[in-house]
Chains A and B, each alone.
Chain A
Amino acid sequence: MKLLDVQDLTICFGGVIAVNEVSFALQAGETLGVIGPNGSGKTTLFNLLSGIYKPTSGTITLAGKLTQGLRTDEIFHLGLSRTFQNGRLFWNLNVLENIMMGLEEVRNTSIVGSIMGMQKEKDLQKQAVQKASKIMEIFGTLLTSQANKVASDLPYADRRRLEICRAIASNPKVILLDEPSAGMDGIETEILMNDLLKVKKALPELSIIVVEHDMGFIKGLVDKVMVLDYGKCIAYGLFDDVAANEDVIKAYLGQGDEAC
């Protein structure tokens, strides 16, 4: 079943066409890598998918529903969550609270219940803490040992991990990871890679779209790759086919390793 179906997606900022007639489809459980040089429209594509930007033209169908006209939070409820390229945690909340914000319990409280100290609110809170603690465990003790630390006090790599935890907390159908390994060193990247494979194994139905600069990182993780250049999709397919594609080599690989 097609979980996500994108047709001719286009957005212009003034004269710049940041995403230009991009089409692709994503099956449930599939992982898609998106690569492309700086400014090629990867983050903009994510912003379109999550509803932060409205497309100039084209359509996005998520879980059988057109997302046109839906607010960001409504799209989240359809089953799409994401991380951000430069990390947008709730900096002054602690680790556990950050993950709890991904849970539906937080939005299911009634305000009257919260001030009357009703049992339902207490149960929801307990449930949320339990669920959030459980989600942290995919990263072993790395986060559980810091559960009550404020997010801004976390080491860089743990912030990235926390973002992933928050993203999968809501049991989404698809998550968008915007350069999850940015700012990590080689070893950390490898660990992250293994962690993501763990997530995939634990949640086989989850579809993932991951933006990366590092082709090596993507290789072992993705089923398919899409290459963007100046907002256009210049190649789409299995990793090996795309890596051998001449246009891709010219547009992207030719530029050598980019570190941001």
Chain B
Amino acid sequence: MIKILLTEIIGYILFLFFVYVEDPIAVAGVMAAFIVAVVFLKKKCGELVKDLEKAYADNLGQVGIIAVVLAVTMPFSLMGDAYWLQVLNFSILYAIMALGLNFMTGRAGMICLGYAAFIAIGAYTVGILTLKAGISFWLALPLAGLFASIFGVILGLPALRVKGHYLALVTIAFGLIVQQLLLNLENITGGTNGLINIPSPHFMGIDMGANLDFGFMSLSYQANFYYLCLLILAITTILIYRFSNSLFGLALNAMREDQLAAQCYGMNITRYKLLAFAIGAFFGGISGGLYAAMINFIAPENFGYSMSILVISMIILGGLDSIPGAIIGAFFLTIFPEKFRAFEDYRVMFYGIIIVLCLLFMREGLLPFKHRIFKPSIPKGEN
């Protein structure tokens, strides 16, 4: 408990430090020192790290609660700073996407290089429904997830016949097709101009587009979305965790390992593949919907191929099929580049380098997937 609390607080302070120190060189220095420290710790005090890992693995509930409590205080620690809150909001949205894609690709083995399409569908669903049809955001958001799921199944259908590289190509094509549709269906989507003035949601009479006023302190409006996104990230994490730890999740793992063997052992893989696509896409749709309501403006160019690549690099960096990995990967790759905005043009290259480095030197990612430990023989093994 103490250990978990301590390490999470260290992480929290490091992040605040990261935000408040302006000089990119100092930031890079401290980050490098931190990485060296972690590597050193892992080498020299393997026991300590193992202890810590075990403490985390055994007390997932506590880990989550402490993390949420710390996260709730974040807007205050940031003094309601609009810019950094926005960065955090994006991190959270990306974390939701990464969890969804990780389920599809990491867990079920369905490579998807067109994930941005689901995000776009979610965003446009919320945009169109709230702007043009006047439907409440709170109804439009689940519909965004649902529509994305339907598109997930539509992508899944041709994907049933192909594997590996071919599946990757099909999903790239899917991403491009959706983007083209958004460009060309001008009547509904606004074409290249996109949708402007998407209304901000209201929550119990509070306009989420207005500052969050506590009387003693006023936080910029991004804080509203920060809390909403945080809540949805928490729900997403729990759902994905439950899926992954169920027998259904086990079956998806088996399908990833060997589709033919899975079929020979009674899995109707058509059904499982479509479900994996639908579930993964759902969370993409949800995060897209949140994005639309938060930014109030969406255009097809926001949901291009590079976004798909970004989400993929997040889960590769974090560790395929690892839930904490997906979240950490998303946060790292959203927040870290913010300090190096001077090198904005090199951003995509940076993602590419991350993917290559991970695949070469760190196959399993930052926080590798951990197998569940079962206690086999039941009556004897009781101790």
Report the count of interface residues on A (CB-CB < 8 A): 50
Q: Does A142 contact B (CB under 8 A)?
A: no
Q: Please tell me if the beta carbons of A90 and B261 are within 8 angstroms of each other in the complex.
A: yes
Residues of A near B268 (CB, < 8 A) are 71, 73
Q: Does B382 contact A (CB under 8 A)?
A: no
Q: Does B28 contact A (CB under 8 A)?
A: no
The minimal Cβ–Cβ distance linking A71 to chain B, given in whole angstroms, is: 7
Q: Does B371 contact A (CB under 8 A)?
A: yes
Residues of A near B202 (CB, < 8 A) are none
Q: Please tell me if the beta carbons of A106 and B376 are within 8 angstroms of each other in the complex.
A: no
Q: Please tell me if the beta carbons of A90 and B257 are within 8 angstroms of each other in the complex.
A: yes
Q: Does B373 contact A (CB under 8 A)?
A: yes
Please tell me which stretch of B43-51, B217-225, B240-248 contacts chain A, meaning at least 4 of its Cβ atoms lie within 8 angstroms of it.
Answer: B240-248
Q: Please tell me if the beta carbons of B247 and A106 are within 8 angstroms of each other in the complex.
A: yes
Q: Please tell me if the beta carbons of A81 and B264 are within 8 angstroms of each other in the complex.
A: yes
Q: Please tell me if the beta carbons of B247 and A114 are within 8 angstroms of each other in the complex.
A: yes
Q: Which of B239, B246, B254 has the most CB of A within 10 A?
A: B246
Complex partner residue of A92 from B257, B260, B275, CB under 8 angstroms? B257
Q: Does A181 contact B (CB under 8 A)?
A: no
Residues of B near A105 (CB, < 8 A) are 247
Closest to A94 in B: B371
Given known contacts A100-B250, A111-B275, A115-B243, is B266 in contact with A133 (CB within 8 Å)? no
Q: Please tell me if the beta carbons of A77 and B275 are within 8 angstroms of each other in the complex.
A: no
Given known contacts A114-B243, A115-B239, A133-B377, is B265 in contact with A81 (CB within 8 Å)? yes
Q: Which of B248, B249, B256, B275 has the most CB of A within 10 A?
A: B248
CA A74 to CA B222, docked complex, whole Å: 53
Residues of A near B242 (CB, < 8 A) are 114-117
Q: Please tell me if the beta carbons of A93 and B251 are within 8 angstroms of each other in the complex.
A: no
Q: Please tell me if the beta carbons of A148 and B374 are within 8 angstroms of each other in the complex.
A: yes
Residues of B near A150 (CB, < 8 A) are 371
Please encode chain A, from 135 to 155, with 1 for each CB lying within 8 Å of some chain B CB and 0 for all others.
011000000100110100000
CA A134 to CA B265, docked complex, whole Å: 19
Q: Does A89 contact B (CB under 8 A)?
A: yes
Closest to A100 in B: B250
The minimal Cβ–Cβ distance linking B109 to chain A, given in whole angstroms, is: 10
Complex partner residue of A90 from B246, B253, B372, CB under 8 angstroms? B253
Residues of A near B239 (CB, < 8 A) are 115
Q: Please tell me if the beta carbons of A133 and B248 are within 8 angstroms of each other in the complex.
A: no
Residues of A near B360 (CB, < 8 A) are none
Residues of A near B267 (CB, < 8 A) are 73, 107
Closest to A149 in B: B371
Q: Please tell me if the beta carbons of B266 and A129 are within 8 angstroms of each other in the complex.
A: no
The minimal Cβ–Cβ distance linking B34 to chain A, given in whole angstroms, is: 31
Residues of B near A88 (CB, < 8 A) are 258, 260-261
Q: Please tell me if the beta carbons of A73 and B378 are within 8 angstroms of each other in the complex.
A: no
The minimal Cβ–Cβ distance linking B364 to chain A, given in whole angstroms, is: 11
Q: Which of B242, B253, B373, B376 has the most CB of A within 10 A?
A: B376
Residues of B near A84 (CB, < 8 A) are 261
Residues of A near B248 (CB, < 8 A) are 109, 111, 114
Complex partner residue of B246 from A73, A82, A114, A144, CB under 8 angstroms? A114
Q: Does A166 contact B (CB under 8 A)?
A: yes
Q: Please tell me if the beta carbons of B265 and A101 are within 8 angstroms of each other in the complex.
A: yes
Q: Please tell me if the beta carbons of A52 and B261 are within 8 angstroms of each other in the complex.
A: no
Q: Please tell me if the beta carbons of A72 and B264 are within 8 angstroms of each other in the complex.
A: yes
Q: Please tell me if the beta carbons of B264 and A100 are within 8 angstroms of each other in the complex.
A: no
CA A70 to CA B357, docked complex, whole Å: 45
Please tell me which stretch of A120-128, A189-197, A246-254 contacts chain B, meaning at least 4 of its Cβ atoms lie within 8 angstroms of it.
Answer: A120-128
Complex partner residue of A101 from B246, B249, B250, B372, CB under 8 angstroms? B250
CA A129 to CA B251, docked complex, whole Å: 14
Closest to A130 in B: B378
The minimal Cβ–Cβ distance linking A209 to chain B, given in whole angstroms, is: 15
Q: Does A50 contact B (CB under 8 A)?
A: yes
Residues of A near B249 (CB, < 8 A) are 114
Name B residues whose Cβ lies closer than 8 Å to a Cβ of A. Answer: 239, 242-243, 246-251, 253-254, 256-258, 260-269, 275, 371-378
Name A residues whose Cβ lies closer than 8 Å to a Cβ of B. Answer: 50, 52, 71-73, 76-77, 81-82, 84, 88-94, 96-97, 100-102, 104-107, 109, 111, 113-117, 121, 124-125, 128-130, 132-134, 136-137, 144, 147-148, 150, 166, 170
* 3 shortest interchain CB distances as A-B pairs: A114-B246, A90-B257, A133-B376
A-B contact pairs, 9 of them (CB 8 A): A76-B266, A89-B257, A92-B256, A93-B250, A100-B250, A114-B246, A128-B247, A130-B378, A147-B376
Q: A90-B262, A97-B250, A111-B243 are in contact. List 16 more A-B contacts (CB 8 A).
A: A50-B264, A71-B268, A88-B261, A90-B257, A92-B253, A92-B257, A93-B253, A96-B374, A97-B253, A97-B374, A100-B247, A111-B248, A128-B247, A133-B377, A148-B374, A148-B376
